[in-house]
Structure 1
Amino acid sequence: MAETSASRGREVRRRLVQAARELVPERGWTAVSTRTVAERAGVAPGLVHYHFASLQALLAEAAVGALREMVGGVGALLQHAGSPTEIVDLIAGEADRYTGTDPASLLAVETYLAATRDPALRRELSAVLDEFRNGLAGRLHEHGVPDPDATAAVLAAVIDGVLLHRSLGPAPAVAPVLHRIVEKGEQ
């Protein structure tokens, strides 16, 4: 079957997003250029601006999409938790997949930092976090955890903080401490 112009365009866009996802952790958000993304994707630099309003728009789409995938996977896992303790164990287990220096962790850190300077990125990142916290709060509510919204916000912040600390050195096991936060609802 002949490849259409639209399918070629989708493939170029996909390669640009993938290249951005790789380059941000490798070089840092501000060191990624149109040229480096195009080179990594194997396309002409002009195609970056053909497919995206700006380099920032490309980086934001790539990073927010990756983070949405990360937290979306956790949200799906939470549906299998039978207690608040299991919720914590699932979240902590997922967090243990990240060392703080792996590409996904570095992409998250770079995105958070960039969001402090870019209001549009901040809104997009906040929406991803809100989705995660709302889903987590819903599951905590189902299990009778007091103040599930605040508990979900603290749990999410703790996990983010632990991942940030892991980039500097070993972080303690978090599950036992987090269990104490949610166990009040199980008594």
Structure 2
Amino acid sequence: MAARHPEDVGMKAAKTPRRAVAAADRTRQPTEVRRRLIVEAAVPLIAERGYQSVGVRDVAAAAGVSAGTVTYHFDSVQEILSEAMVLHIERYYAALSEAADKASGGSEALRLLIDALFTEDTDRHWRMWFDYWSAGDRDQDPERAFARGQAKRYEDWHSQIRGLVERGVAEGEFVCADPVGFTVRFAALSDGLALQWLRQAPPLTTEDARRHLYRLVETELGTGR
């Protein structure tokens, strides 16, 4: 196997000084805009190839910038992955959250959530989610910034599920004495079903994945009416 360039690995062996950016580049776009453009370009690459198969040169080519520009703004591909995942999650859940807010009740909102988790187009979301998940195990940052960001994503995800359950309880649709416990089981089941769905071992359809989650809701939440 050919040796990889140092800038193409997920984490650098030793942190090196960032390279200077040309004055023309600095005046064209603010730092935050340039970082956003790089992350935007990285999202489809990571989704299609997987985090470990994407290097700085790949991201630079997709963003239309030099590898030096990428390494100036980011210390590693892992840092890009972290921001790319945040961007992806914001987009993925934005429309869903808006739809849930307009739902007639907690029951309908939870159904919309389940339906959105498993469609013919959500494989990209789940591949990125599991890539992001496993990347936390390789976090070499002594400050554990990546791991903290990952924990925040899970906290937000759990909060969204719990909020829908509590809404259903308040509106008399659900009976649940332990929304936190239900949330843990719902999130764990959805993760497990998604992994099986992606690998198809054993085979699992989107309809069956949804059905298992519907059954969990029916069994544990019942109805208050």
- Evaluate the alpha carbon distance shift between residue 33 and residue 4 of structure 1 in structure 2; reply closer, same or farther with a 3 A threshold: closer
64-73 or 31-40, larger mean C-alpha shift:
64-73
1:92 partner SS: helix
| TM-score (structure 2 length as normaliser) | 0.70
- Evaluate the alpha carbon distance shift between residue 62 and residue 23 of structure 1 in structure 2; reply closer, same or farther with a 3 A threshold: same
Q: Which residue of 2 aligns with 1:18?
A: 40
- Residue 64 of structure 1 contacts residue 125 of structure 1 at CA under 8 Å; is this kept in 2? no
Q: After TM superposition, list the pairs within 5 Å mapping 1:123-138 onto structure 2.
A: 123-138=148-163
> Do structure 1's residue 150 and structure 2's residue 175 form an aligned pair?
no
- Residue 85 of structure 2 contacts residue 132 of structure 2 at CA under 8 Å; is this kept in 1? yes
- Residue 47 of structure 2 contacts residue 128 of structure 2 at CA under 8 Å; is this kept in 1? yes
Describe the superposition over 1:96-154 as per-residue Cα deviations: whole angstroms up to 9, x where unpaired.
23556x32221112111112222432321221221121232123123223211111222
- Residue 85 of structure 2 contacts residue 129 of structure 2 at CA under 8 Å; is this kept in 1? yes
43-52 or 67-76, larger mean C-alpha shift:
67-76
Question: Where in structure 1 do 4 or more consecutive aligned residues deviate above 6 Å?
Answer: none
2:29 partner SS: helix
Counterpart of 2:130 in structure 1: which amino acid?
A: V
Q: After TM superposition, list the pairs within 5 Å mapping 1:12-91 onto structure 2.
A: 12-91=34-113
| TM-score (structure 1 length as normaliser) | 0.82
Deviation at 1:72, TM superposition (A): 4.5
Deviation at 1:182, TM superposition (A): 4.2
- Residue 17 of structure 1 contacts residue 62 of structure 1 at CA under 8 Å; is this kept in 2? yes
Describe the superposition over 1:38-60 as per-residue Cα deviations: whole angstroms up to 9, x where unpaired.
01111011111222233321221
- Residue 99 of structure 1 contacts residue 105 of structure 1 at CA under 8 Å; is this kept in 2? no
- Evaluate the alpha carbon distance shift between residue 86 and residue 163 of structure 1 in structure 2; reply closer, same or farther with a 3 A threshold: same
Q: Which residue of 2 aligns with 1:141?
A: 166
> Do structure 1's residue 184 and structure 2's residue 222 form an aligned pair?
yes
Deviation at 1:167, TM superposition (A): 0.6
Describe the superposition over 1:24-82 as per-residue Cα deviations: whole angstroms up to 9, x where unpaired.
12222122111111011110111112222333212211123212432444333332344
Paired residue for 1:117, among 138, 142, 145? 138
Q: Which residue of 1 aligns with 2:190?
A: 159
Deviation at 1:177, TM superposition (A): 1.0
- Residue 115 of structure 1 contacts residue 121 of structure 1 at CA under 8 Å; is this kept in 2? yes
Superposition RMSD in Å: 2.6
Deviation at 1:92, TM superposition (A): 1.4
Q: Structure 2 CA distance, aligned partners of 1:68 and 1:74?
A: 10
Structure showing the higher helix proportion among its residues: 1
**Which structure is larger by alpha-carbon Rg, 1 or 2?**
2
Q: Structure 2 CA distance, aligned partners of 1:13 and 1:85?
A: 40
Q: Identity over the aligned pairs, expressed in percent?
A: 24
How many residues were matched structurally?
Answer: 184
Which consecutive unaligned segments of at least 5 residues does structure 1 have? none
